[in-house]
Amino acid sequence: MGYSGKWRERERARQLRAESWTLLDIARELGVSKASVSVWVRDVEFVPKPRNRGHPSHQPHPLTIRKQAEIERCRAEAAVTIGQLSDRDILVYGLALYLGEGAKTSQSGFGLANTSVEVMVSFMVWLRRCFEIDESRLRARLYLHEGLDLEAATVFWSDALGIPAGQFTAAYRPESRDRFRGSKHPNGCITVRYSDVTLHRRVMALISALTSQFAIPG
């Protein structure tokens, strides 16, 4: 899946940053530039490592240790349960994702919007693997708040999704006076659309066939 760019490096960088690695150390570990690391991890909370890690006051609380152990156990169990996805697994996953997040009417076009890079990468994997598409008909648009770096966000999403920057339409920048609740996502919200009414109809028919497998109470 070459179109996912440096996806593995980004995810590893974010993990290391959460473990209190410095930008320089991460860059050296992954063999990438410090500038790239800075963009990838700028929304990851960073807590510098204490100098005297052996001092009792610097030891994690027992509840924190227990919580982390449970999280790791759940992750390990989940990896075994999910295993390697088949093409059918990916098809069904993508249909469920589109049912929840995708555009439902042909007037809205075939597409999906989200702030999560994991969700959007999985959407593109599904789209490319399960359907024959014309890459040139893909369009992407960013919703990005003022004060955030549009160029960096465009590069980030273009690299992650394998959509050339030239296929990004003009970004939407909400005015600063617009009321906003919650945190601002540094890379914004990305909308990916694909111009194909027939594909939209096919996907909605597949979703209908999927949901019809479940009995309606009463």
Q: pLDDT tens digits for 44-64?
A: 877 776 554 445 555 677 777
User: pLDDT tens, 14-37?
Assistant: 888 888 888 888 888 888 888 788
Start-to-end CA span in the chain (Å):
45
Q: Residues of the chain with pLDDT > 90: what percent? A: 46
Q: How confident is the model at residue 4 (pLDDT cuts 50, 70, 90)?
A: very low
Mean pLDDT across the chain: 85
Residue 52: the pLDDT is 47
Look up the pTM and report it: 0.70
Instruction: Calculate the alpha carbon distances from 120 to 11, 74, 93, 161, 180 in Å.
Output: 14, 24, 13, 7, 23
Distance CA 110, CA 103 (A): 6
Q: Tell whether the model's pLDDT for residue 160 goes beyond 80.
A: yes
Could you tell me how far CA 189 lies from the centroid of its own chain?
Answer: 10
Residues 140 and 168 sit within 8 Å (Cβ to Cβ): yes
Q: Which long-range contacts (CB under 8 A, 24 or more apart) does 10-18 make?
A: 10/40, 10/117, 10/160, 13/37, 13/40, 13/41, 14/40, 14/41, 14/44, 17/41, 17/44, 17/46, 18/44, 18/45
What count of other Cβ atoms lies within 10 Å of the Cβ of residue 187? 22
d(CA 113, CA 128): 17
Most confident of 71-80, 127-136, 176-185: 127-136
pLDDT of residue 99: 96
For the chain, which domains are there?
2-82 (no CATH), 87-211 (3.30.1330)
Average pLDDT over residues 187-203: 93
Q: What is the pLDDT of residue 1?
A: 39
| 184 neighbors 25 (Cβ within 8 angstroms) | no
DSSP 60: P
* CB-neighbour burial class of residue 131 (10 A; exposed 0-12, middle 13-18, buried 19+): middle
User: Which residues, 6 or more positions from 211, have their beta carbon under 8 angstroms from its beta carbon?
Assistant: 99
pLDDT value for 32 = 85
Task: Examine the pLDDT at 218 and tell me if it is beyond 70.
Answer: no
